[in-house]
Each structure stands twice: as structure tokens, then as C-alpha cells.
């Protein structure tokens, strides 16, 4: 990924902090994806003692997770304190942790389910976040996640490309890269799927307003740090117009990557005749 597309995490934090107050009134996409991700738990046979909502936002998944796993202790983790303040009201008994998904302040093998909806694409290093999820999960734990894929906001990306030279849309992960990250982290039997959703708007200001209210701003390092000129905005708006539907609406295409992956049984891992074994301490992993 080019440096101009790297993610400015301070920008991510400030955008979601500003959005926390009105987030729940505009999270149509987030709600739809969260519900679809929860459905992927329906066929799962799991009785977790501890469930981590990774990137919980305002905590809307917590009541559903509490109802599904009444015996489990729930932990909501998010990068933004203002979001966690809202989550506190959802399930009073849940634990709250303000932390980075790529550096979890949790002991290894301490949770049984990591549920993560529309969070990983905001991580500067997705592979590291996946590795952290694997570290805190114990057998037979499950990682259940949804993240945006590369087709997301393609119309917006294309329109801005005709207007200026700055980056405006994140470089969302490819499905094969996400699958590779899960396997490299040590997950077994990853199952991935992709779904496309289309949001439509009467005009471009309505689309931009929706993005801002939900904190979905431009957090790329190569963004324009100044004000966009009226001429540049007009060029972008004109370029977006070619996507207008016969019904007179402007579309925003969203690609969602879903994945579920299990923690393998450590007893099933044996050194084969062509393999060599050595102490894990030699790998230099942090405790």
C-alpha cells in the first residue's frame, strides 16, 4: 500500500469521537452488516465464557450477544472513549476497554469469541490486528468478522480521481489477503464470503452528510489537508453524476467481506517427519 493510502489513526479517532453523539441515528449500513454478521453465528455450536466485541462502537451488538450467550462475560473494546461512553448504557455488566485492535491489552487465550463488525479496515495493519485476535482466543474459539472490501465506495473513488490528485477513499482489504492473514495468524478452517450492498441518495451532499455523521471520513495520509475549492468539488460532483440511476438516485456501492475462522486444537498439532520443533520463545513473541 502506498504511503498516501496509509491510515492516520489519530484522524480515525477524532472522526469517530465527533460522530459519537449522532452515530446511532445514521448507522443504517452498520446495522445491516452487524445483523448479517450475527446471523453467521446461528449455525455455530459454541458456549463461550468470554466474548470480545472488537471495535464495539456505541455497543449495538452487545444486547444481541448477551441474549445469544447469557452465560458469557461481555467485553466491549473500542479505540474511541466517546463511543464506549455510549456502549456503557447497552449492557451495564459488560466490561469496557479503550484500546487499539492491533495491540489488545488482554491475556493470551482469555476469550472464546471475537466478534468484529466493520472495524478491521480502519486498522493501519490488518494482519497485526488479526494476529492479536488469534492471540487472545483459546481453543475452540471463533473469530467472526465483517470488513469492507475493495469495491466499496468505488463511485466516490472514481469521481474524486477526476477531480484532484489527493486520496479520498481507504484501500480496503482484498478477500484473498484477509484469508491469507487468517491462515498466517494460525486460524483453521476460515470461511469467507462477500456481499454487495447499494445505498442510494438524492444528491451528493446527502451522501457526504451520511459519511460524516457515522465518522466515515477520509483518514488516508494522502488526503487534502486544506479546504477543497468550489471548482474541485464541482468537478467531482459532475463526475459522480454519471452514476445516477434511472430512478434519479446516486448510488454508493458497498462490498462487505465476511469471515469466520476457528482456533485449532493444539493437541492436533504434531511435528511431521520433515518438520523441526523448537521452543516458541525463540520466535521472540511478546508475552
Strand-pair category, 73-78 with 50-54: parallel
25 found inside a domain:
yes
Domain that holds residue 205: 3-266+277-283
Give the helix ranges, DSSP H, for 40-113: 62-68, 81-87
Listed in order, strand segments (DSSP E) in the chain are 50-54, 73-78, 95-98, 111-117, 137-148, 188-201, 250-262
Average pLDDT over residues 19-46: 94
pLDDT tens digits for 198-213?
A: 999 999 999 999 999 9
Domain count across the chain: 1
130 found inside a domain:
yes
For residue 4, the model assigns a pLDDT of 67
272 found inside a domain:
no
Contact between 57 and 34 (Cβ < 8 Å): no
Asked if pLDDT for residue 283 goes beyond 60, the answer is no
45 found inside a domain:
yes
22 found inside a domain:
yes
101 found inside a domain:
yes
Distance between CA atoms of residues 103 and 151, nearest Å: 28
Average pLDDT over residues 214-241: 91
Q: What is the DSSP string of 245-278?
A: -TTS-EEEEEEEEEEEEEPPPGGG----TT----
For residue 221, the model assigns a pLDDT of 81
Distance between CA atoms of residues 253 and 154, nearest Å: 7
For residue 174, the model assigns a pLDDT of 96
Asked if pLDDT for residue 84 goes beyond 90, the answer is yes
Asked if pLDDT for residue 273 goes beyond 70, the answer is no
For residue 270, the model assigns a pLDDT of 53
HSE, side-chain direction, 13 A CA sphere, residue 154: 12
Q: How confident is the model at residue 277 (pLDDT cuts 50, 70, 90)?
A: very low
**Maximal CA-CA distance, the chain:** 68
**DSSP code for 233:** H
% of the chain exceeding 70 in pLDDT: 92
Q: How confident is the model at residue 276 (pLDDT cuts 50, 70, 90)?
A: very low
For residue 92, the model assigns a pLDDT of 86
pLDDT tens digits for 16-31?
A: 999 999 999 889 999 9
Distance between CA atoms of residues 114 and 137, nearest Å: 7
Asked if pLDDT for residue 269 goes beyond 80, the answer is no
63 found inside a domain:
yes
Q: How confident is the model at residue 222 (pLDDT cuts 50, 70, 90)?
A: confident
Q: How confident is the model at residue 104 (pLDDT cuts 50, 70, 90)?
A: very high
Q: Mapping DSSP to helix (H, G, I), strand (E, B) and coil, where does residue 81 land?
A: helix
Q: How confident is the model at residue 225 (pLDDT cuts 50, 70, 90)?
A: confident
Q: How confident is the model at residue 256 (pLDDT cuts 50, 70, 90)?
A: very high
Average pLDDT over residues 168-178: 94
Average pLDDT over residues 145-156: 97
Contact between 250 and 158 (Cβ < 8 Å): no
- Cell of residue 152, nine digits: 466499496
Q: Is the pTM of this model over 0.85?
A: yes
Average pLDDT over residues 205-233: 90
Distance between CA atoms of residues 54 and 52, nearest Å: 6
271 found inside a domain:
no
Bigger pLDDT: 168 vs 193: 193
Distance between CA atoms of residues 141 and 263, nearest Å: 5
Asked if pLDDT for residue 214 goes beyond 60, the answer is yes
* Beta-carbon contacts of residue 75 (< 8 Å; ≥ 6 apart): 50, 51, 52, 53, 94, 95, 96, 97, 106, 111
CATH classification of the domain holding 23? 3.40.50.150
Distance between CA atoms of residues 231 and 229, nearest Å: 5
Amino acid at each position: 500500500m502506498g504511503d498516501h493510502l496509509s491510515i492516520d489513526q489519530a484522524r480515525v479517532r477524532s472522526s469517530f469521537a465527533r460522530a459519537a453523539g449522532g452515530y446511532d441515528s445514521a448507522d443504517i449500513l452498520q446495522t445491516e452488516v452487524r445483523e448479517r454478521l450475527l446471523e453467521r453465528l446461528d449455525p455455530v455450536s459454541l458456549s463461550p465464557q468470554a466474548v470480545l466485541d472488537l471495535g464495539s462502537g456505541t455497543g449495538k451488538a452487545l444486547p444481541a450477544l448477551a441474549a445469544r450467550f447469557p452465560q458469557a462475560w461481555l467485553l466491549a473494546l473500542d479505540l474511541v472513549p466517546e463511543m464506549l461512553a455510549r456502549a456503557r448504557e447497552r449492557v451495564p455488566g459488560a466490561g469496557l476497554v479503550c484500546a487499539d485492535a492491533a495491540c489488545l491489552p488482554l491475556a493470551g487465550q482469555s476469550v472464546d469469541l471475537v466478534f468484529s463488525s466493520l472495524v478491521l479496515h480502519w486498522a493501519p495493519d490488518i494482519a497485526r490486528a488479526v494476529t492479536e485476535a488469534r492471540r487472545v482466543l483459546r481453543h475452540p474459539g471463533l473469530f467472526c468478522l465483517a470488513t469492507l472490501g475493495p469495491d466499496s465506495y468505488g463511485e466516490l473513488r472514481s469521481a474524486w480521481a477526476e477531480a484532484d490528485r489527493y486520496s479520498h477513499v481507504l484501500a480496503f482489504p482484498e478477500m484473498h489477503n484477509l484469508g491469507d492473514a487468517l491462515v498466517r495468524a494460525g486460524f483453521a478452517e476460515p470461511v469467507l464470503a462477500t456481499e454487495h450492498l447499494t445505498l442510494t441518495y438524492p444528491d451528493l451532499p446527502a451522501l457526504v452528510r451520511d459519511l460524516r455523521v457515522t465518522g466515515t471520513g477520509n483518514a488516508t495520509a494522502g488526503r487534502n489537508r486544506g479546504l477543497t475549492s468550489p471548482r474541485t468539488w464541482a468537478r467531482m460532483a459532475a463526475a459522480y453524476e454519471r452514476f445516477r440511476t434511472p430512478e434519479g438516485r446516486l448510488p454508493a456501492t458497498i462490498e462487505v467481506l465476511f469471515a469466520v475462522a476457528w482456533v485449532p486444537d493444539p493437541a492436533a498439532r504434531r511435528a511431521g517427519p520433515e518438520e523441526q520443533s523448537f521452543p516458541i520463545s525463540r520466535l521472540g513473541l511478546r508475552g
